[in-house]
């Protein structure tokens, strides 16, 4: 069962800080809202996730290559991509609490509440009817449920239409009609709904007039689009082919809550796949399935993932799926799979005045390729791993431990080596073992506190193996190896450590 609750979320955030995974940015100055720093263990986990994604995309596919484009781009890029005109969120303020919200979020939350009422009715009825309960029939016939469903549908239709038409007055009307109150002040004292552009801007060079205005990229994708011909030509790539990139993106989010789920500076891992026009839906299906498979290869159970098909599409897309994850605060978007048509490339062709067509040697035609993209937030993936992994366990002896069941190949530290005591040559032997392993695995040496405490510290950061060096080691070159999840300990020759760890790290990889 997926584990979620607000309380659990708070514990995970506290744990992430206590064990050097994630710190609030500029905490010394009371923090900067929705900006975070990754600590000594966080950076390792983050790098391991990046590495796995990069290998899965670039190393395992002969027709996908990488790119590292700059954060700053020519400002016309954002005119062409539509971000200057359309990368807006509708915002609304409550005059009493002075809090700002996304208008569409308020309405969606209202629909979620109605859905919650339906779920409650179903639960009650299941209890009442026991084994004879026919959920489908109940959902179709129960008066109250049917009424809630009709309400949800009608609200959703109005919301989708208002967003499509950018009708801010209608969004406000919906909030009024539904009598939505501010969760903080409890009042309906709302301002009008206004558009808010999410891009950060700054100035290039020393002049401060508008002609030098540049933007911090809100997505990494545009760096790929404007380079696609450079890569295609210099890499002699044939369609279909992909370009993958990992990099920072910036969005001035209106509501920036929920820890590293919604940040103003974050990292994206995107892959744009260039295809022949007319084949994009097949590739869209293909990448949707591939990405779901990839998530499964992390070893997190299927019930943590859900696919959601978008009705309200971004300005560049003709089809879109989200892969949602069961975060502690509920199912939320982790990754987007988008069919972006030729929207971006055609726009860059128009705005730059340069041809960006591909000559297809097979069909002997030139065309602007269509694009299917997979776009995942690295920080959201990090949070999914962290929130799945966090476990409070009651042990047989009555004690408790917090163990991070991070998939072993992603764990920040793979092997911790402990001398039983700080004398008799045991520390030297432990360091000798680390020296034999450190070129292959991130290892950690610890000699402070009793062994039990050292185990707990490494459980709390997800280290899959702890090795203890004792006096017997000096006689016969054996050590004890303790496995994180089972806590089982075995005595093994030092030479076997590396193959055992290697075997375990390969387990999850699809």
User: 375 has which bridge partners?
Assistant: 270, 336
User: What does the per-residue mask of binding to ligand ATP show for 457-476, with x meaning CB under 6 A?
Assistant: --------------------
Shortest distance (Å) from residue 221 CB to ligand ATP: 9
| CA 99/CA 93 separation, integer angstroms | 6
Q: Out of 225, 241, 266, 294, point to the residue binding ligand ATP (CB under 6 A).
A: 266
Cβ proximity to ligand ATP, 268 vs 387, nearer residue: 268
| Contacts for 479 with CB less than 8 Å, ≥ 6 apart | 433, 467, 468, 469, 470, 473, 491, 492, 494, 497
User: What does the per-residue mask of binding to ligand ATP show for 58-97, with x meaning CB under 6 A?
Assistant: ----------------------------------------
| CA 198/CA 206 separation, integer angstroms | 24
Give residue number: closest CB to ligand ATP.
Answer: 377
Stretch 218-247 residues interacting with ligand ATP (CB under 6 A):
none
Shortest distance (Å) from residue 334 CB to ligand ATP: 6
Stretch 330-359 residues interacting with ligand ATP (CB under 6 A):
333-336
Cβ proximity to ligand ATP, 262 vs 484, nearer residue: 262
Q: Out of 15, 83, 172, 262, point to the residue binding ligand ATP (CB under 6 A).
A: 262
Binding segment toward ligand ATP, per CB under 6 A, in 158-166, 209-217, 259-267, 397-405: 259-267
| CA 312/CA 308 separation, integer angstroms | 12
Cβ proximity to ligand ATP, 11 vs 310, nearer residue: 310
Binding segment toward ligand ATP, per CB under 6 A, in 1-9, 328-336, 396-404, 476-484: 328-336
Tokens coding 370:
């269509």
222, 81 contact by CB (below 8 A):
yes
Helix (H) or strand (E) holding 235: none
| Cα three-residue angle 368-369-370, rounded to 5 degrees | 125
Shortest distance (Å) from residue 140 CB to ligand ATP: 31
User: 480 has which bridge partners?
Assistant: 468, 491
User: What does the per-residue mask of binding to ligand ATP show for 370-409, with x meaning CB under 6 A?
Assistant: -----xxx-xx-----------------------------
- SS3 letters across 324-341: EEEECCEEEEEEEEEEEE
Shortest distance (Å) from residue 343 CB to ligand ATP: 14
88, 363 contact by CB (below 8 A):
no
Number of residues that bind ligand ATP (CB under 6 A): 15
Binding segment toward ligand ATP, per CB under 6 A, in 124-132, 147-155, 352-360, 369-377: 369-377
Q: At residue 63, what are phi and psi to the nearest 5 degrees?
A: -110, 20
| CA 363/CA 371 separation, integer angstroms | 18
Scored b (16 or more CB within 10 A) or e, 100-112 reads ebbbbebbeebbe
Cβ proximity to ligand ATP, 182 vs 335, nearer residue: 335
Tell me if 51 contacts ligand ATP by CB under 6 A: no
Distances from the Cα of 99 to the Cαs of 89, 105, 119, 255, 261, in angstroms? Answer: 16, 14, 30, 9, 20
Q: Out of 69, 268, 339, 468, point to the residue binding ligand ATP (CB under 6 A).
A: 268
Shortest distance (Å) from residue 102 CB to ligand ATP: 9
| Residues at the contact surface with ligand ATP, assessed by CB under 6 A | 251, 253, 262-263, 266, 268, 333-336, 375-377, 379-380
């Amino acid at each position: 069962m997926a584990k979620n609750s607000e309380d659990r979320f708070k514990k995970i955030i506290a744990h992430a800080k206590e064990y050097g995974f994630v710190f609030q940015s500029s905490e010394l100055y009371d923090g900067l809202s929705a900006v975070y720093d990754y600590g000594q263990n966080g950076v390792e986990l983050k790098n391991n996730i990046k590495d796995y994604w990069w290998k899965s995309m670039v190393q395992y596919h002969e027709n996908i290559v990488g790119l590292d484009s700059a954060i700053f781009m020519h400002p016309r890029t954002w005119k062409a991509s539509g971000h200057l005109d359309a990368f807006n969120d509708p915002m609304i303020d409550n005059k009493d609490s002075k809090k700002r919200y996304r208008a569409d979020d308020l309405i969606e939350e209202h629909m979620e509440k109605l859905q919650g009422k339906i779920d409650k009715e179903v639960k009650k009825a299941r209890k009442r009817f026991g084994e004879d309960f026919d959920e489908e029939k109940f959902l179709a016939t129960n008066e109250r449920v049917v009424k809630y469903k009709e309400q949800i549908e009608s609200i959703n239709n109005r919301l989708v239409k208002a967003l499509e038409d950018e009708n801010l007055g209608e969004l406000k009307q919906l909030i009024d009609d539904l009598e939505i109150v501010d969760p903080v002040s409890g009042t309906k004292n709302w301002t009008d709904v206004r558009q808010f552009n999410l891009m950060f801007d700054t100035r290039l060079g020393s002049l401060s007039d508008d002609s030098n205005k540049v933007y911090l990229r809100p997505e990494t994708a545009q760096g790929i689009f404007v380079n696609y011909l450079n890569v295609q030509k210099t890499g002699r790539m044939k369609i279909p082919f992909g370009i993958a990139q990992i990099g920072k993106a910036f969005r001035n989010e209106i509501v920036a809550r929920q820890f590293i789920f919604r940040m103003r500076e974050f990292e994206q891992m995107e892959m744009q796949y260039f295809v022949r026009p007319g084949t994009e839906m097949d590739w869209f299906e293909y990448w949707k399935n591939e990405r779901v498979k990839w998530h499964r290869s992390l070893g997190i159970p299927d019930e943590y993932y859900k696919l959601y098909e978008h009705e309200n599409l971004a300005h560049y897309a003709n089809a879109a799926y989200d892969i949602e994850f069961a975060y502690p605060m509920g199912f939320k978007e982790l990754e987007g799979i988008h069919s972006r048509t030729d929207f971006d490339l055609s726009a860059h062709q128009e705005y730059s005045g340069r041809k960006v067509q591909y000559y297809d040697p097979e069909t002997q035609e030139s065309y602007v390729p269509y694009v299917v993209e997979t776009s995942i937030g690295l920080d959201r993936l990090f949070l999914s791993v962290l929130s799945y992994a966090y476990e409070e366990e009651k042990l047989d002896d009555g004690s408790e431990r917090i163990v991070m069941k991070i998939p072993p190949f992603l764990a920040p530290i793979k092997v911790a080596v402990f001398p039983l005591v700080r004398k008799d040559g045991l520390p030297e032997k432990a360091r000798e073992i680390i020296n034999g392993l450190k070129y292959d695995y991130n290892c950690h040496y610890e000699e402070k506190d009793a062994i039990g405490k050292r185990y707990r510290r490494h459980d709390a950061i997800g280290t899959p193996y702890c090795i203890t060096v004792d006096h017997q080691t000096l006689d016969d070159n054996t050590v004890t190896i303790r496995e994180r999840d089972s806590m089982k300990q075995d005595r093994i020759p030092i030479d076997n450590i590396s193959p055992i760890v290697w075997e375990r790290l390969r387990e999850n990889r699809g």
